[in-house]
Amino acid sequence: MKILNWAAAGLAVLALAACAPSTAPQAGGGDEKSGTLRVWLYEEPNRAPKEKVVAEAVKEFTAANSGVEVEVSYIPTTPARHEKFKGAFNDPASAPDVAEYGNTDLAEYAAAGGFADLTADVRAWPEGADLGADLLGSATVDGKLYGVPWFIGIRALYYRTDVFDELGLKPPASIEELTSTARQIRAKKPDMYGIAVGGEYTFGALPLVWDAGGDIEKLDSPESRKGVQAYTDLLKDDNCPPQTCASLTGGKTVELFAGGKAAMGILGNFSRSAVDAGPAAGKYAVVPLPGAAKDSIAPAFAGGNNLGVLKSSAHRSLAVKFVQLLSGKTYQTKMFEAMGNLPTLTSARDALAAEEPFLKPFLDTVAAGTRFVPIDPAWVKIDNQKVIPTMLQKIATGRSTVEEATTEAATAVNAAFGRS
Amino acid sequence: MTQAGRTRTPWLYLLPTVAVLAPLFGYPIYMLGLLSVFDYRQAQVSGGEPTTFIGFGNYATLFGDPRFWSILGQTVVFAAVLVIVTLAVGAALAVVLTRAGHWPRLLLSLAAMAAWAAPAMTGSTVWMFLFDADLGLVNQVLGIDGFNWFYDRWVTFGVVGATVVWHSFPLVMVMLFAGIQAIPVSVREAAALDGASEWQSFWRIIVPMLRPLITIVVIQSIIWDFKIFTQIYVMTNGGGIAGQNSVLNVYAYQTAFGSSEYGLGSAIGVVMTLILLVVTLFYIRALHRTGEKL
């Protein structure tokens, strides 16, 4: 017996030595017309309203498609989501049919071959024509559309009207005015930050870089450096001391503004409910984040989430139908009412703009032009290696000059793209 | 028993151990080594791109990265300090335990056991709250509201190091305490009669008699502290401001799983394993040289 065991173990070792690390089986997927449709949606800080709208959609969907059940699960938006998605790609048996994902994660997922190409499905969908070209572009890799943009998130400048009135200030119309206003507030109200900025707030810093004519792929260009300088000038003792602010993420700056500890903040339309729940409620207004030139608007990052169909899905047409239902005008509008999610369909957005004055600064920002991160798996790497936060933090803490930090960051970006 | 039987018997006794250890340790290490010589990223795992053999390419990338060297140096120094402090605290408290009365001993043991039992994740989070800039107890007691303990590199390492020591000293303390209890009282009495001070009897009697035990504790501490992960990852949010507090294990995790560079991450794992292997061999050798057997 023992000899047999050893022989078996030896054979197993030989077999293992002969092959490369394993690769997930290529599942072609299928097109069953009944069964359970599994859907992954992002977890939210206040999930109840989202859950309600989704439940409504599910009800409508199951009524129209007999023999179909929809099982919705909510997945965390922490970096652990990457593990979850990778797990789904590696093991089709535990993968959903439909999934919501952040549009910055798209390139990584597309390269992994996880999502199905929906180009033809969206072209055949009447409401598909209502999606702007910029938006479709942010869901496209190498000419293939890997998801339907579900909503967009745009950041603008929130400011405290009570503080501005008390100090006789006007909302800033340029970056220079923004900086001086922030310093004045901090000088007169030392327990407040002029504008809450964070060393880990990539999407707070990028608009200034883009406005100066810089870009993520050329962080060491003179234009990029100018933008980086403008942002890190705010990470100083006279506005937001690096001791506290160097380690802040975007979410933490929202907390500071919502908590009444900052007079301004770069917050998204999706942060409105968080602000309304805190002491700053009813005492704030929003304007577009200004650029360097007076009365210009700094290009915002066009964040948002897409709905995609997994390549391994066994219910392809059902999954596409469900995606089209959720991202159709009716449910996009309902999602806006429930969550404040800005619709991706132009007609839905226009209808809301007419009746919702809160949206004006955000829509003005969209109209002025938005920007996006590189649609390349390299972006996920750049993001995970915290290249941009590291650059901002090194400058904010005074450990590097703007030149040194941007040169280093540019090298890291090039390395992520596989260029040297 | 025949001569052949005598040489074969020990191996026979080892068989069950080998049967368990070989698959449990051999296979993961084999896979680690295998992955480290492939270009193996997320795209390869899920079948988007073919897996290619790149020999020592991952190692070349790693050794050519100045960040790897600075993190390696940082990890070695941090681990060395942690081992020394853990040993000092553990040994001092072990001696205190032998001297303390019934109730203080019980209290100290309970406190140490609680620290030992606390999961690294929970312990780190609690310490992080204690040192929170705005709401932390430490700042309120010291009256330095708003002081950020996780801003300066060395202060951060200090706070995280204290947490690690808090987590790991109980084992050292308990093992050394048990060792000291096993030393016959007559030996220490004889030393005392000969006029040896407490300090002398610790260094001249307890330490030499406990050398095998101390060696084990040291090796274990080195392995633990060199592989430190949770405390750094949780307390400094994955490596601190601008990555200044990163250590090798956090770096490997971020490379392997954060950036989906499984091949490169495995190469870091292999390098760590080799370093720890050398450390262990070195200690076993040192032990044999002094004539003591484990």
Using a CB–CB cutoff of 8 Å, tell me whether B30 touches chain A.
yes
Using a CB–CB cutoff of 8 Å, tell me whether B260 touches chain A.
yes
Size (chain B), residues: 294
Domains of chain A plus CATH, in order, are 35-153+303-371 (3.40.190.10), 155-301+385-416 (3.40.190.10)
Using a CB–CB cutoff of 8 Å, tell me whether B133 touches chain A.
yes
**Predicted pLDDT at A11:** 44
Would you place residue B5 in the very low, low, confident or very high pLDDT band (cuts 50, 70, 90)? low
Burial class (CB within 10 angstroms; exposed 0-12, middle 13-18, buried 19+) of B293: exposed
- Alpha helices, H only, chain B: 3-21, 27-36, 42-45, 57-63, 66-99, 102-117, 120-130, 137-142, 153-182, 185-193, 198-201, 207-209, 211-226, 230-235, 248-253, 262-289
The amino acid that residue B272 corresponds to is M
What three-state secondary structure class fits A374?
coil
Specify the DSSP class assigned to residue B192: H
Measured distance CA(B262)–CA(B249) in Å, rounded? 14
The answer to the question of residue B73 being in a domain is yes
Nearest to A21 among B35, B148, B257 (CB): B35
**Predicted pLDDT at B285:** 77
What residues make up the domain containing B71? 67-289
pLDDT for B29-88, tens place per residue?
A: 999 999 899 888 777 776 667 788 888 889 998 998 888 999 999 999 999 999 999 999
Measured distance CA(A203)–CA(A253) in Å, rounded? 12
The enclosing domain of B85 has a CATH number of 1.10.3720.10
Measure the CA angle with vertex B26, ends B25 and B29; round to 5°: 85
Tell me: pLDDT of B146 over 70.
yes
The answer to the question of residue B59 being in a domain is no
A–B interface: beta-carbon pairs under 8 A? 96
The amino acid that residue B284 corresponds to is I
* Closest CA–CA distance from residue B179 to any residue of chain A (Å): 41
Measured distance CA(A69)–CA(A50) in Å, rounded? 19
With b for 16 or more beta-carbon neighbours within 10 A and e for fewer, the A69-95 pattern comes to ebebebbeeeeebbeebbebbbebeeb
Tally of domains within chain B: 1
* Closest CA–CA distance from residue B134 to any residue of chain A (Å): 10
Percent of chain B with pLDDT over 70: 95
The answer to the question of residue B11 being in a domain is no
Measured distance CA(B268)–CA(B256) in Å, rounded? 9
The answer to the question of residue B77 being in a domain is yes
Q: Report in angstroms the alpha-carbon separations of A207 from A33, A258, A396, B209.
A: 46, 22, 18, 67
Measured distance CA(B246)–CA(B252) in Å, rounded? 10
What three-state secondary structure class fits A36?
strand
Measured distance CA(B50)–CA(B32) in Å, rounded? 19
The answer to the question of residue B20 being in a domain is no
Tell me the pLDDT of chain A (420 aa) as tens digits. Answer: 445 455 444 444 444 444 556 665 555 677 888 889 999 999 876 788 899 999 999 999 999 998 899 999 999 877 778 888 888 888 888 899 999 999 888 988 888 888 999 999 999 999 988 988 878 888 999 899 999 999 988 999 999 999 999 999 999 999 999 999 999 999 999 999 999 999 999 999 999 999 999 999 999 999 999 999 999 999 999 999 998 899 888 888 998 999 999 999 999 988 887 888 889 989 999 999 999 999 999 999 988 899 999 999 999 999 999 999 999 999 999 998 888 788 999 889 888 888 888 899 999 998 888 888 888 888 888 888 889 999 999 999 999 999 999 999 999 999 888 875
Measure the CA angle with vertex A256, ends A253 and A257; round to 5°: 90
pLDDT for B258-279, tens place per residue?
A: 777 889 999 999 999 999 888 8
Within 8 A of B42 by CB-CB distance, chain A residues are 86, 89, 108, 111-112, 377
**Predicted pLDDT at A134:** 77
Tell me: pLDDT of B6 over 80.
no
Average pLDDT score over residue span B190-218 = 86
Burial class (CB within 10 angstroms; exposed 0-12, middle 13-18, buried 19+) of B288: exposed
**Predicted pLDDT at A6:** 52
Percent of chain B with pLDDT over 90: 38
Closest by CA to A204, choosing from A396, A401, A9, is A396
**Predicted pLDDT at A16:** 45
Nearest to A113 among B46, B151, B260 (CB): B46
Phi-psi region of B196 (alpha: psi -120 to 50; beta: other; left: phi over 0): beta
Do the beta carbons of residue A89 and residue A117 sit within 8 Å? no
The answer to the question of residue B53 being in a domain is no
* Closest CA–CA distance from residue B197 to any residue of chain A (Å): 49
**Predicted pLDDT at A297:** 95
Within 8 A of A111 by CB-CB distance, chain B residues are 42-43, 48-49
For residue A175, what is the enclosing H or E element? Answer: helix A175-188
Within 8 A of A243 by CB-CB distance, chain B residues are 146-148, 151
